Structure 1
Amino acid sequence: MQIRFQTPYQYLFIHQNVKHLLLLWKKERKRELYIIEEENDGTLLLRFPGETYAEMVLQEIEPIFFQRLETEEGLFPAILGATFTFEEKLIGMYYHRDHPTEELYFFEIQGETLTEISDQKYEAVVHAFMNEFPEYFSG
């Protein structure tokens, strides 16, 4: 699934196995959350889920949504692309804000904190993600 926007304030992410679109309006300091539903013909339908649902999801993801990650190349801004469960732990998949198709990064989410995944489990986490969200790897 690849969708590009003209401005950098729209974010697609999957949370609790539901595809969402987060719109941020910087000038108005407003945020909107939509659920993305795919119809049989491939059309994407945006549906407003209601204020209560939107606030609940935003409360869960806002503390972990935007991150600064560090690799051997240095610090870079990262964005949450998906959350999923692996061995009863919440895992977050992140991507580089400026290069979203280059590499994915996985962390265990504990409350509002990201924790590195051990080398022994990292490959299994990646495979679990690929099986659960194949749309990230098509096209």
Structure 2
Amino acid sequence: MNIHFQTREQYLFIHRNVKHLLLLWEKDHRKHLYLVIKEEGENLTLLDPGEMYQEHVFDEILPIFFQVLHTETGTLATLLGATFLYHDQLVGMYYNPYDPSEDLYFFYIHDQQINEIPDEEYAQVTQTFTQEFPDYCK
């Protein structure tokens, strides 16, 4: 069976080592979250995690999911691609949804806000990401 959702706003991301699919219907102000339990090529097997789980994840990620970054070349709209722990601190990896092959950006996440990672820690954070998510780095 092939199912297609009638929204262009479909976002895959990893949060706390679980792959999710976030669907947003802007005109209805609706959102839904699925767990990705299996991936085969372009096919995903999804599981509805229930309302309580959805609300918990929404509380954690929606305030920080979409970010506008100010870079040396201007501003850039980014999306949260993954979260992971580095020395017991939650880190968010952000990417340009219009060109996912561009640079990745990393920030500490604390109190529903993103914070810059000190230069002396940044290389270690990116190395941790590369080890935990090798598929992103191909």
TM-based fold match above 0.5: yes
Residue equivalent to 2:91: 91
Residue equivalent to 1:126: 126
Aligned-residue offset at 1:7 = 6.2
Give ranges in structure 1 of 5+ residues lacking alignment.
none
Residue equivalent to 1:115: 115
Give ranges in structure 2 of 5+ residues lacking alignment.
none
Which SS does the other structure have where 1:126 is aligned? helix
- For residues 28-68 of structure 1, what are the alpha-carbon distances to aligned partners after superposition, in whole Å with 9 as ceiling and x for unaligned? 111010000126x6652111111110111011101110111
Q: Which has the higher contact order (CA 8 A, sep 6+)?
A: 1
Distance 1:27 1:6 in 2: 12
Alignment of 1:1-80 (within 5 A): 8-38=8-38, 43-80=43-80
Which SS does the other structure have where 1:75 is aligned? strand
Percent of aligned positions that are identical:
52
Distance 1:44 1:23 in 2: 14
Q: Which amino acid aligns with 1:119?
A: D
Q: Which amino acid aligns with 2:33?
A: L
Distance 2:29 2:132 in 1: 34
Aligned-residue offset at 1:11 = 0.6
Distance 1:13 1:7 in 2: 17
Question: Given the two structures, how large is their TM-score scaled by the length of structure 2?
Answer: 0.89
Q: Does the CA-based 8 Å contact 2:7-2:24 persist in structure 1?
A: no
Distance 1:131 1:50 in 2: 31
Q: Which amino acid aligns with 1:134?
A: P
Distance 2:72 2:6 in 1: 30
Which SS does the other structure have where 1:55 is aligned? helix
